[in-house]
Structure 1
């Protein structure tokens, strides 16, 4: 797009026999200034601004700010960014589709054609978060788990099948196919996107936002993408810009090569530790340096995946020959590969030797210094060298008051016929528990590995570590080793291609023999879908209050996440997961202690079975293009169960009042073609009086549903037993459940109640203490508007859309806080809730607020971005008038608020009413 103030940058490019048009960064530099040393991530943002320049949502000043960023390495300017596409997983995707379905219903009620409501940007939803490891360690585990998954989630899946048929620009990858990030890397991502526009084929960078934090994995393919909340994702799919500050960009220089026996997982755990110590929250990280020339895309994707763990918005790798090699391997068309090379070189996005962009800050790693590592026991950034695991666990237990005996390295003893290692007989202290399981008797000790899971997109996309796990299993079997009976083993690859190449490498049977049978293609142990432990093991852990362990090839190990009974959780490479399943306990130094004994009672060490780089490379050679083409040929089709789901053939969804998973939300009830005039707030009551750093986890419903909570009562009233509650996450498509869980976090503290922790408040004027939801409904019956008052950094944490949606549904008109986290502030506006900020020097504490006050807000019809808003806080002691700051920061945001929310604005725009 071009106008008087925007540089004319449209040029042509020939690649693979096709002529493409593109917005040339070189031409832009002629008008805006040299950009040779601008980080490649910011070049991608600059191209985006050029393509959408209209002097309203994107102005010349936005582009100039990106170019001028080079002078100081930062900028305070906020820009509107429009990604090429949107990626969703089922947990976060269901409410997005519910909103689209609701918009269609609203359009129909306005007498318009509901088929006009469709995503304007391509959307892919991959069902990958619902499979659980109920069955494991046997050949039928995969089939059984998929059957259970379909039974549990039939309502949700029928709804998504309807969406797949009803909406244009919307595709669904059925369950049992893969993890969204791995499918994105292996199939969906293009690196350079194209579309037909004005009779031309326009080429531009492949960019996206996703409703999962690990969307960043695609950065390994030179695709800029990161995770956002549902409201932002819905806005992006409906053509609205994502508001963002021009970020700081931290350069991470990689040199050297990994040593023999060191894996990409060891590298990413080292990188995560370094970047957490550096401090990159909210920043872009861009990798550069000559070490990239020997770093394959699979390894890059492993590092990019864990950007949320090191705190960055993204961890980006530029396009180079390795990118083309991966695109070729995974079956992308020759014409696409030619376009990626030609476009990247023409735009200065191709990695050149000795590239040294200007960065906000830098750090460096010589990869020859990386050592075998794990991370834990509860944070991904807490790296522990393999050789230090024994001492680390002992220290952990001592800190918790559990004294562990010293151990003799290499000493063996028998546990019910199983060989355990490195622990003296004196280890059998009072915490150990006698267990009988699978016909064997043994002692379960502290440090026991009760879960060993090869899981998660982080590593299962990487053939080198997966083949290494299979080869290690083969070598272990040849030595007569086997998995300890107390270990729950599982293999959950991110795509079916992994199964193909494990079979081609001849190691699938070896993994099966050690209990690492396929349990599903999806996100399992890493998100807490590890399923139950065997009853005798679970009972022993509970009876002895044992500190046991999980070892998983995942990216997250937060407290209580993997399994509620497993207190220590360790991230590790797939081959180390297998090794710890053999050892059975983390209280070992696997660099010196044996894993067990061979058939001649000789000790077997990890080094004896660890495959060489040459062996791994030979196995990886068996990964071929035909595997990818075969598995992705029918990626959207699904199995017979998926195809047989009942799907109504209608443009407008037929809502069932009996459903406890999918309900018609009231966001568009009574909506007219024109927005209603905004009324001032008069005599509002305070629903909650909150302190500093209240996170979206505190506000948004998450985790288990308590039977005695408003949401639990709602489900029981509809005949749902607590055992079948499932989680808030699985019921995100039902606003009745979600609004009851808003502000219901067990750790939230409402200052209106002394010493009470949890989602309670005090109804005024009755003084009765009740659940926040119950109070909100009481106020609604009374016709009383509501506000929330808070301290600094309100809404920090993940971008959870229900933190804003629930706030709106509870009847909250405004939030008054000392400061806001950017995304939650934006989400509140997107749901029609006005965020106001205390004037400097004023706060709930300086005003001595108790929650008994009434709050009135004037001038909401005359709001201006960043303007002043009059607020009167009244009590029996008098009135206090404040000039608060309107935190609607841009003209676009004001338009959203004026319409009652971003979806209302988009809906009216789509039918020509806005």
Structure 2
């Protein structure tokens, strides 16, 4: 920002308290603009940021006018800058970010600059929560054993992160064992209103995890971005974003007494998926919101990526303030938070219709219409009412391979495979539950469903029910507070008796860190080629994510996770069939043990108290003795260990020059993969286990490691050699070239079938660029920068898809991989693209908005004439490092051009 430029909105500044002129704020009401009071509350946050940061350089007064004029500009693809107040990272995405920062310092030094200029400008919190796995379960010492193993496996990564916390300013590390990043954010890190350098302003953030949106439930505007975008924000760059449409989601009515917040969120997810909210904000309003706790709202906001919106915002109200009080925030903070938000008209009364702003459109949900449900077997948006669950699974068994089909021959639907476990006889069939996990930030932040699970466990034990010992049960709370109130309320013992011991504090089964299944179970599944089931209280259930041996995975509330674990199968109609038979021969139905909302609320009021939060979070950064004793280097430049298989200097800054290089045309590219719809970042860059026959495993074996030391792809994101080999290594990847699921492709010049990495290496050795063909929603799922970095390292120069997930498209752009998009109605099939053509993409110079870009496609055996096809791209991204600090330039343009057969 030029030092001589004065903020043109300085006249709006005034003290929040007339008696204290040192603490000020930008009073937006002094704009005296009637448009402000009609803006959605989420857009008001964008406006405040633009006003406060206006320097007529990065943020201009014309940007302020564009936001004020949102009613018109929302449909005009108007871009505005947004400077979030902070950045949050988890360790899977945080390690690559710190690796990039360390490499930037090396690059700046090589160019003759001061490497210590490379520092986060925007405050960043990194929570280590994705490294722990369910290696041990069902025993009282499972937690300690899993944490010890986590530390042994990840010591090198942890040392690197500890170095980063010392080497870089404005970066705080929350050690392992503290909880899930989003729950820690909600209960501890969230400011709601910042008080910083003499100013009050709204808390806001971006995070390197899709479910960063969970914080929106507390009235803090935030969403997930790619790791590359997050790094740019950390370096002081605003996010350039198109002003979004805002869908108002009106809640009214009262939920039935047996309904959980999970039932509500799965209903909302399916509803909004059908409405179509991709790229939009969703803002909740109406009297029904006032009936939802902050934990309920956070659960709904957490699932925002699953219904495709950018953010899912619940403006702050009195319930928000009470939550802050309940979680131990200081009275002085509570006072200024409420006072500030009321002063700038950002405090909400959901029962006051006069406060309802104007929205792009309004969608309504009657909470009384919600029924118990779960979702699956392969996608979070595929909601199923519990009463339909048995029939739905059985129809999926025989249905064509797809999101709702496994294509099992009808003659095998009743296959039963006997096996022995712990010297007893059992049997598995299609639909048998082998994983039951209460996991992830989605639900463990919510005392109502966690206590509901505990009360259900208590009643189940009292009725003489149990869980079969071969089922892998686990409980991974989002924070230590959960364990605290489960113990204090007396339900933890009953959860333990059913096998739901605390196994760790972090994102475990939901991210694929489910650990191994017992060998007899795996052998039975393999022998019968069974569609075994996992049931988890998480937010993602894509193919191959939870565990390689669970082909059907269902998202469910914590009480339902326990219910299906007791039943032992998802092929059950709880309304008509007993959940189990006790030792006395009595049939027990789910309705006999299901707790009511009133029962749960009574326990919650008694046992979820502020002192718990204060006690847990006062020692959060001190409690892990192994972390505290960890010795990390103190040098400002990182000393890379060339023998390390965890941390490696990445090649992204090799050859960096002071002059920005223009993008080059892509000539004669081969198609590496021909993919269909809903290819997720899990398919592109897995986070789970490293298969023993994979290129990554072979690489690690060559380094002298044994399979027990492979760890997971997620834990090795600091090493590009591993991650490049893990790109497109998901066993559930469906490549049209092969017409089956496999992490393989065809090397087109010879017709050989080989692992994707090996084929890419052959192409790169020949100097041939690559492209990928895909369908709808390419890159959906978790925010994962390696899903763009990996393809870049494989030599992929462009992706041709029908549509993209927002964050992944941004990451592709960040790596210089061009995301080309078909015009509406066009697909690879409709254009007769088989993937066996050669592609040339002409990038003209200089690049300007909405320019024409030619894509020439050469068929191998073409005798036909020419036809013309249009493509478009969204963004190009460039990284320019100068001696002062890195700057990120975004040039946004829909690239509209021609494809011709030649």
> 1:809: Cα distance to partner?
4.0
Instruction: Number of aligned residue pairs: give it.
Output: 868
> 1:206: Cα distance to partner?
1.0
Distance between the aligned counterparts of 1:905 and 1:573, measured in 2?
Answer: 52
> 1:903: Cα distance to partner?
6.0
Matches within 5 A, 1:43-82: 43-71=44-72, 74-82=75-83
SS of match in other structure, 2:132: coil
SS of match in other structure, 1:36: helix
Matches within 5 A, 1:326-345: 326-345=323-342
Matches within 5 A, 1:514-663: 514-597=498-581, 600-621=584-605, 622-663=607-648
Give 2:17's aligned residue. Answer: 14
In the alignment, structure 1 residue 508 sits paired with structure 2 residue 487: no
Does structure 2 conserve the Cα–Cα contact (< 8 Å) formed by 1:873 and 1:881? no
Distance between the aligned counterparts of 2:763 and 2:811, measured in 1?
Answer: 24
Give 2:464's aligned residue. Answer: 480
Distance between the aligned counterparts of 1:384 and 1:851, measured in 2?
Answer: 39
Partner of residue 492 from structure 1, selected from 466, 476, 479: 476
Does structure 2 conserve the Cα–Cα contact (< 8 Å) formed by 1:447 and 1:549? yes
Give 1:361's aligned residue. Answer: 361
- More displaced 10-residue stretch of structure 1: 688-697 or 599-608: 688-697
Does structure 1 conserve the Cα–Cα contact (< 8 Å) formed by 2:88 and 2:124? yes
> 1:11: Cα distance to partner?
3.2
Give 1:729's aligned residue. Answer: 714
Matches within 5 A, 1:740-889: 740-742=725-727, 747=733, 786=769, 788=771, 796-797=779-780, 800-810=784-794, 826-831=810-815, 860=845, 862-867=846-851
> 1:291: Cα distance to partner?
1.5
In the alignment, structure 1 residue 26 sits paired with structure 2 residue 23: no
Q: TM-score, normalised by structure 1?
A: 0.85
> 1:9: Cα distance to partner?
3.1
**Cα deviation code 1:415-444 (max 9, x no counterpart):** xxxxxxxxxxxxx99622333323433443
Does structure 2 conserve the Cα–Cα contact (< 8 Å) formed by 1:435 and 1:537? yes
Distance between the aligned counterparts of 2:583 and 2:683, measured in 1?
Answer: 58
Distance between the aligned counterparts of 2:712 and 2:765, measured in 1?
Answer: 29
Change (3 A) 1:885 1:868: farther
- More displaced 10-residue stretch of structure 1: 95-104 or 593-602: 593-602
Change (3 A) 1:902 1:693: farther
Does structure 2 conserve the Cα–Cα contact (< 8 Å) formed by 1:839 and 1:884? yes
> 1:296: Cα distance to partner?
1.1
> 1:824: Cα distance to partner?
5.2
- More displaced 10-residue stretch of structure 1: 88-97 or 443-452: 443-452
Give 1:418's aligned residue. Answer: none
Distance between the aligned counterparts of 1:572 and 1:885, measured in 2?
Answer: 40
Does structure 2 conserve the Cα–Cα contact (< 8 Å) formed by 1:839 and 1:882? no
> 1:620: Cα distance to partner?
0.8
Distance between the aligned counterparts of 1:211 and 1:535, measured in 2?
Answer: 35
**Cα deviation code 1:777-828 (max 9, x no counterpart):** 677777x584648688796535542344345445667778998776555445
Give 1:686's aligned residue. Answer: 669
> 1:678: Cα distance to partner?
4.8
> 1:129: Cα distance to partner?
1.3
Change (3 A) 1:713 1:571: closer
Distance between the aligned counterparts of 1:707 and 1:904, measured in 2?
Answer: 43
SS of match in other structure, 1:251: strand
> 1:115: Cα distance to partner?
2.6
Give 2:173's aligned residue. Answer: 172
> 1:584: Cα distance to partner?
2.5
Matches within 5 A, 1:390-409: 390-397=390-397, 399=399
Give 2:435's aligned residue. Answer: 451
**Cα deviation code 1:866-887 (max 9, x no counterpart):** 4457899999999999999996
Does structure 2 conserve the Cα–Cα contact (< 8 Å) formed by 1:854 and 1:875? no
- More displaced 10-residue stretch of structure 1: 73-82 or 237-246: 73-82
**Cα deviation code 1:360-415 (max 9, x no counterpart):** 2221122222222222222222322233333333444465677999xxxxxxxxxx
Give 1:420's aligned residue. Answer: none
Give 1:243's aligned residue. Answer: 240
Which has more radius of gyration? 1
Distance between the aligned counterparts of 1:404 and 1:445, measured in 2?
Answer: 14
Partner of residue 739 from structure 1, selected from 724, 735, 744: 724
Distance between the aligned counterparts of 1:870 and 1:112, measured in 2?
Answer: 40
SS of match in other structure, 2:38: coil
In the alignment, structure 1 residue 125 sits paired with structure 2 residue 109: no
Distance between the aligned counterparts of 1:335 and 1:693, measured in 2?
Answer: 54
Distance between the aligned counterparts of 1:97 and 1:498, measured in 2?
Answer: 30
Distance between the aligned counterparts of 1:514 and 1:838, measured in 2?
Answer: 52
Does structure 2 conserve the Cα–Cα contact (< 8 Å) formed by 1:868 and 1:883? no
Does structure 1 conserve the Cα–Cα contact (< 8 Å) formed by 2:126 and 2:174? yes
Does structure 2 conserve the Cα–Cα contact (< 8 Å) formed by 1:693 and 1:794? no
Q: Unaligned 5+ residue runs, structure 2?
A: 400-405, 889-902
Q: Unaligned 5+ residue runs, structure 1?
A: 406-427
SS of match in other structure, 2:37: coil
Matches within 5 A, 1:662-677: 662-672=647-657, 674-675=658-659
In the alignment, structure 1 residue 182 sits paired with structure 2 residue 183: yes
Distance between the aligned counterparts of 1:468 and 1:794, measured in 2?
Answer: 35
Does structure 1 conserve the Cα–Cα contact (< 8 Å) formed by 2:670 and 2:839? no
Does structure 2 conserve the Cα–Cα contact (< 8 Å) formed by 1:715 and 1:725? yes
> 1:521: Cα distance to partner?
0.7
Does structure 1 conserve the Cα–Cα contact (< 8 Å) formed by 2:167 and 2:636? yes
Distance between the aligned counterparts of 2:290 and 2:825, measured in 1?
Answer: 54
